[in-house]
Amino acid sequence: MTTDDAADPAPGSALRLPLALPGQRIGLFGGSFDPPHAGHLTLSLMAIRRLRLDAVWWLVTPGNPLKDHAPGALARRLAAAEAMANDPRIVVTAVEASMKTRYTADTLAILARRLAGVKLVWLMGADNLCQFHRWRHWRQIAQTMPIAVYDRPASTFRAMASPAAQALARFRLDESDAALLPGHATPAWVFLHGPRVAMSSTALRAGSIKESARS
Ligand SMILES: Nc1ncnc2c1ncn2[C@@H]1O[C@H](COP(=O)(O)OP(=O)(O)OP(=O)(O)O)[C@@H](O)[C@H]1O
Ligand SMILES: O=C(O)c1ccc[n+]([C@@H]2O[C@H](COP(=O)([O-])O)[C@@H](O)[C@H]2O)c1
């Protein structure tokens, strides 16, 4: 994958990014991916289809600031994400580790500036909308780029009733207009329904612990 390393004295300047051309539609999908699973893949492929994205970048985070346990080693999670993604439109990155950003608001501010002209959309599962109002500068995130939220079992109603969903209610696009989201004036968001995947990294970690206890 070609990278962009144009000179820029501002913070985040040493950052090498996957190639993105002006006008392209890119989904940014942050996550712990500890480990990655079919839920991540389904969300990404549905977002590509429904938002007509050119690509989805998985931003494998050094650590979710709201989680009290540290995730597994970044190199292991990146390798597992590469193996799981297995689609040329999904690009696995460690940009937050390179930028040394911890909060999504900081990450997205840098990416939006570096990728001016690219139509960026923040992607997340419905469980994250439930607690989005606890994220640092969440209103600023909603001003920085449009957001697409993908349905997840047990989160649909809680997500729509959440403080952030309520606060941003008037900026929600109809799902039938999802393809208008990339490049839309902000704030703007959409809730995407589709195949719901009852899979989580927590369950997979619990399974592998049981597995190793048996062997
Ligand atoms: N099954 C799923 N359906 C829809 N979205 C999902 C699903 N699994 C994860 N996501 C979304 O993917 C992003 C990254 O999630 P993460 O890597 O933390 O996976 P997780 O399964 O939620 O992990 P954990 O169980 O450790 O919290 C989040 O926005 C989350 O909402
Ligand atoms: O910036 C924040 O305050 C913040 C709080 C909670 C989660 N996030 C981000 O949300 C993404 C999903 O996190 P996770 O742990 O559910 O995979 C990941 O990119 C986190 O860094 C960000």
pLDDT in tens, 135-188: 999 999 999 999 999 999 999 999 999 999 999 999 999 999 999 999 999 999
* d(C-alpha 188, C-alpha 109), whole Å: 17
* d(C-alpha 205, C-alpha 11), whole Å: 36
Give the model confidence (pLDDT) of 72-113 as tens digits.
999 999 999 999 998 999 999 999 999 999 899 999 999 999
Spatial strand order of the sheet with 25-31 comes to 90-93, 55-60, 25-31, 119-125, 147-150, 189-192
Ligand 1 pocket, residue 127 CB under 6 Å: yes
- Contact yes or no for 29/58 (Cβ under 8 A): yes
* d(C-alpha 60, C-alpha 74), whole Å: 8
For residue 129, the CA-to-ligand 1 centroid distance in Å is 11
Of ligand 2's listed atoms, the one at least distance from the Cα of 131 is: 6
* d(C-alpha 196, C-alpha 39), whole Å: 8
Phi first, then psi, for residue 52 (nearest 5°) are 55, 55
- Indicate which residue's Cα is closest to atom 30 of ligand 1: 125
Ligand 2 pocket, residue 64 CB under 6 Å: yes
- Contact yes or no for 96/30 (Cβ under 8 A): yes
Name residues whose C-beta falls within 8 Å of residue 110's C-beta, 6 or more positions apart in sequence: 11, 12, 15, 99, 101
Ligand 2 pocket, residue 135 CB under 6 Å: yes
Q: What is the DSSP letter of 174?
A: P
Report the 10 Å Cβ neighbour count for 101: 22
Ligand 1 pocket, residue 77 CB under 6 Å: no
Tell me the pLDDT of the chain averaged across its residues: 91
How many helices, marked H, and strands, marked E, lie in the chain?
A: 9, 8
Ligand 1 pocket, residue 160 CB under 6 Å: no
What single-letter amino acid sits at 83? A
Ligand 1 pocket, residue 33 CB under 6 Å: yes
What is the pTM (predicted TM-score) of this model? 0.93
Domains of the chain in start order, with CATH, are 3-214 (3.40.50.620)
* d(C-alpha 85, C-alpha 104), whole Å: 22
ipTM over 0.90: yes
